[in-house]
């Protein structure tokens, strides 16, 4: 089992963080072989606690630990690999590419192959230059791992369907460029998006946000779990949690019939506004 989760700071500055992480494992019902946490944002002072967030059974690999508070808030990908898993054999973190100074694309290599996790920031004006650099390079990186790639997962802040994935949040020319980049990579590298493959005609949202003060309520599918076509037959189960245990609903209003609140704001889980993607694959 591999879990991909955009958590935005695996250890926020609040109490009982380890309890929150362990509660996450309890809700999964079993111990995953690997948990890929994107946008993890770990500060140096919290590094030790973050490494042990999921207990001593897991070895942690970080692509980036923040030394300065003004570094990019979405920097870093974390891989938590269960010590007795087949994914732990000869496991190591590959160095980040020179163009990825924030460690936003992580590469975990083991005897079975390579898992790539990524957080590609929202292509707004603020992050436009960074996003363009990442979009130019990550397909080339995946191509270099073509024969060993196990999966490519994370919050890509891009969509592949204008009808099922589209929201007002994913609008504008920069988002269109990111969408085309993703579509081309999926086609050229012969990848399967296992979430959209399971729910081809209906939306299965992975991100929810509520900002009542600004009357902003949205849901989207910016998270992806891409598997090479040659490995797609190894995928046995795909789960995107939904419902009260993960996302708390707010009463509907006339202006917005469906509203959600961040699970982290409720203090029950360190995950902010995304739910995990849980994929069971035959790994050995």
Burial class (CB in 10 A: 0-12, 13-18, 19+), 84: exposed
For the chain, where are the alpha helices, taking DSSP H only?
17-28, 47-51, 128-144, 173-188, 194-198
- What's the pLDDT at 72? 85
DSSP bridge partners of 38: 6, 77
134 pLDDT more than 90:
yes
For domain 2-281, give the fold. Answer: Deoxyribonuclease I; Chain A (3.60.10)
* Contact (Cβ atoms closer than 8 angstroms) between residue 106 and residue 145: no
Task: Write phi, then psi, for 26 (nearest 5 degrees).
Answer: -65, -40
Question: Mind listing the pLDDT tens digit for each residue in 149-160?
Answer: 999 999 999 888
* Contact (Cβ atoms closer than 8 angstroms) between residue 126 and residue 174: no
> Which positions ≥6 away from 257 have C-beta within 8 Å?
none
202-233 as b/e, with b when 16 or more CB fall inside 10 Å?
ebbbbbbbbeeeeeebbbbbbbbbbbbeebbe
- What's the pLDDT at 14? 46
Question: Mind listing the pLDDT tens digit for each residue in 174-192?
Answer: 788 888 999 999 999 999 9
> Which positions ≥6 away from 163 have C-beta within 8 Å?
none
* Contact (Cβ atoms closer than 8 angstroms) between residue 6 and residue 74: no
- What's the pLDDT at 73? 80
Full-model pTM: 0.90
221 pLDDT more than 90:
no
Question: Mind listing the pLDDT tens digit for each residue in 103-115?
Answer: 999 999 999 999 9
Domain map (residue ranges) of the chain? 2-281
Separation between Cα atoms, residue 189 and residue 143, nearest integer Å: 7
* Contact (Cβ atoms closer than 8 angstroms) between residue 61 and residue 79: yes
Reported confidence tier of residue 169, pLDDT bands at 50, 70, 90: low
């Amino acid at each position: 089992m591999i879990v991909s989760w955009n958590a935005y700071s695996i250890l926020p500055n609040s109490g009982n963080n380890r309890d929150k992480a362990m509660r996450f494992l309890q809700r999964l019902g079993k111990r995953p072989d690997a948990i890929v946490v994107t946008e993890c944002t770990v500060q140096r002072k919290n590094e030790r606690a973050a490494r042990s967030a999921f207990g001593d059974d897991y070895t942690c690999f970080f692509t980036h630990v923040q030394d300065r508070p003004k570094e990019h808030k979405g920097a870093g990908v974390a891989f938590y690999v269960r010590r007795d898993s087949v994914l732990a054999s000869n496991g190591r973190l590959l160095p980040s590419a020179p163009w990825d100074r924030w460690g936003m694309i992580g590469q975990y290599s083991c005897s079975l192959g390579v898992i790539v996790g990524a957080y590609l920031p929202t292509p707004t004006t603020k992050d436009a230059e960074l996003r363009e650099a990442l979009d130019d390079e990550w397909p080339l990186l995946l191509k270099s791992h073509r024969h060993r790639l196990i999966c490519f997962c994370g919050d890509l802040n891009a969509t592949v369907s204008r009808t099922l994935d589209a929201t007002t949040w994913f609008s504008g020319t920069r988002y269109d460029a990111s969408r085309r980049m993703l579509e081309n990579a999926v086609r050229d590298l012969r990848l399967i998006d296992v979430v959209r493959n399971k729910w081809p005609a209906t939306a299965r949202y992975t991100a929810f946000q509520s900002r009542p003060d600004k009357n902003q309520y949205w849901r989207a599918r910016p998270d992806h779990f891409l598997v090479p076509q040659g490995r797609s037959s190894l995928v046995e189960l795909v789960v995107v949690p939904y419902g009260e245990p993960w996302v708390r609903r707010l009463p509907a209003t006339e202006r917005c019939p469906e509203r959600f609140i961040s699970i982290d704001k409720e203090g029950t889980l360190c995950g902010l506004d995304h739910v995990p993607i849980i994929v069971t694959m035959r790994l050995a």
